[in-house]
Amino acid sequence: MTIQSPPAITQPPSPAPSRTDSANFSARSDAYHAWLPTGYANLVAALTWIAARCDDVFAWALTAQQDRIDAQKAADAVAAQSPITNAAAAAASAQAAAVSAGIAQAVSPDSPVRFNTRSITADLTIASAYNAASVGPITIAPGITVTVQDNATWSIN
């Protein structure tokens, strides 16, 4: 971005012609009329300069707007990969799995038959002093971690 100075404007002659000063009116009026072509040229140059700066500002605003859009897209992409977003998805998946397990056991709570899903889609920890059992095959979704802590077991039959 190049900063340009505005064009110089030649000031009109002073004092301006006044009809109340008849002794000097003609001379001042002649000086004013002699200045008009220069003043007009200065005015056109100044307006042209202002229009060009408006075009520059508009172009800079468009660039800034596109930069803002690009930055928002990048921020959205990062947010989609953030631990908070992933944790929310994992919690929703775990809740859905718990509901499914609850429904399966509620069908016959005294039955020796238990149901489990075939895919683990949320991080899972089997806590110390607990045992876990699954009927396989079991798949673990990409990026998902299953942790079996010390003094815990997980059997897949």
Which helix (DSSP H) or strand (DSSP E) does residue 129 occupy?
none
Distant-in-sequence, close-in-space partners of 106: CB < 8 Å, separation ≥ 6 = none
Q: Give the pLDDT score at 127.
A: 86
Q: Give the pLDDT score at 18.
A: 93
Instruction: Please check the confidence at residue 96 and state whether its pLDDT lies above 60.
Output: yes
Provide the β-strand partners of residue 140: 120
Decide which of 115 and 37 is more confident: 37
Q: Give the pLDDT score at 75.
A: 78
Query: In the chain, which ranges are E strands?
Result: 119-120, 124-126, 131-134, 139-140, 146-148, 153-156
Instruction: Please check the confidence at residue 12 and state whether its pLDDT lies above 80.
Output: yes
Is residue 145 helix, strand or coil?
coil
Decide which of 83 and 145 is more confident: 145
Provide the β-strand partners of residue 153: 131
In the numeric block, the tokens 């008009």 are attached to 36
- Mean pLDDT across 88-109: 64
- Mean pLDDT across 36-59: 90
Q: Is the pTM of this model over 0.75?
A: no
Question: What does the alpha-carbon distance between residue 119 and residue 97 come to, in Å, rounded to a whole number?
Answer: 10
Q: Give the pLDDT score at 94.
A: 73
φ/ψ of residue 136, rounded to 5: -90, 175
Is residue 82 helix, strand or coil?
coil
- Tally of CB atoms within 10 A around 91: 12
Q: For 106-147, how does the pLDDT look when each residue is reduced to its tens digit (9 = 90+)?
A: 555 566 666 677 888 888 888 888 888 888 788 899 999 999
Instruction: Please check the confidence at residue 99 and state whether its pLDDT lies above 80.
Output: no
